[in-house]
Chains A and B, each alone.
Chain A
Amino acid sequence: MNKIFPKYPRILAIAPSTRGFGYAVLEGHKELVDWGVKSVTGDKNAGSMEKVEEMIAHYDPQVMVLEDALAKGSRRSARIQALTKRLIALAESRAVKVALFSQKQVRRVFFADGCGTKHALAEIIAKRFPEELGFRLPPRRRPWMSEDYRIAIFDATALAFAYLYRGPEAVEARQNDRHRIAESVKKSRRNAGERGRSL
């Protein structure tokens, strides 16, 4: 009966991008249940929230893994940072555990020295799931090229793997995140208040 009760939790990993977001649903190390890119037009954060909500209802994940856009040194845009905060709140309201990983932590899972390009990381993942992701591996990015939209799928899968291999680290980080997010929300409210007074 072990076959129908997988040992590992179902993981939903989300990697926000300029188009919308890349996602991957994993059950353990071997089963990639779903993957892809959701494109959003118009209000990207609102659209992304709607789609993630649908995915949570459909897959009923135990854990949601996100990139730590609020980490010190993270260069993600204000929109992505705001989306991350909203996704955390959404997951918590649906009783889904949240795990955040910085780019550095993800790379440490795949590279011994913690250094490697996104493409190298995507190649490792494509080798891990050749049938599912092998044909979705984008060509190597040249200096004059923009990032391929498909790379978001590999980013999301990498995040899910980071959780599988370094779960406890994320849980520890999560305790600090709560404090940090609360602080950043307070700060943005304070700034908005000051701006309102000056007007």
Chain B
Amino acid sequence: MALPQLPNYLRSNRKRLALSQGEVAFLLGSQSGARVCRYERFVCEPSLETALACEAIFKRSVSELFPGLYQKVEREVAARAGALAGKTDGRKPTRQTARKREALADLATLIS
């Protein structure tokens, strides 16, 4: 049974290290644990800087920490890649466009 993953796994990673929300907030440079709580409850998404700080704290890649978000972004990129591949179809086939089409086709099929 395939199921979409949760937007993020910050809570499990924080608990694994026995850290409180306040302590993680301190490591992230926030004032209080309220923001961490919001991330954990999927109320808001962290900035790139915060996401990278999470990677540094939990020693896991951003895509592993935020698989749901990663999945959503990946799907959107694939849809755009499909659209871009459609636009390049009419162009004169050169080595460069052939390479580009290959890369876009790869991106588009990666998700489906």
| Chain A residues at the B interface, C-beta cutoff of 8 Å | 1, 3-10, 27, 31-36, 58-59, 62, 131-132, 135
Contacts and interface: CB of A to CB of B under 8 A. Distances in A.
A137 to B, nearest CB: 13
Contacts of A3: 67
Interface string B1-32: 11111100101100110100000000000000
Interface residues of B, number: 20
Interface of B: 1-6, 9, 11-12, 15-16, 18, 41-42, 67, 70-71, 74, 110-111
Q: Which 6 interchain pairs have the tightest Cβ spacing?
A: A5-B2, A4-B71, A4-B67, A9-B1, A131-B16, A33-B12
B5 A62 contact: no
Main secondary structure of the interface of A (DSSP, over half): mixed
B2 A33 contact: no
Most buried by A among B4, B5, B42: B5
Given A33-B9, A58-B41, A132-B16, 13 more contacts: A4-B4, A4-B67, A4-B74, A5-B4, A8-B1, A31-B12, A33-B6, A33-B11, A33-B12, A34-B11, A34-B15, A35-B15, A132-B15
Contacts of B15: 34-36, 132
Given A1-B111, A4-B67, A34-B11, A62 B3 contact: yes
Contacts of B111: 1
A25 to B, nearest CB: 8
Nearest to A129: B16
Contacts of B110: 1
10 contacts: A1-B111, A3-B67, A4-B5, A4-B70, A5-B3, A27-B5, A34-B11, A34-B12, A36-B15, A58-B42
Contact of B18 (A33, A34, A135): A135
A34 B8 CA distance: 12
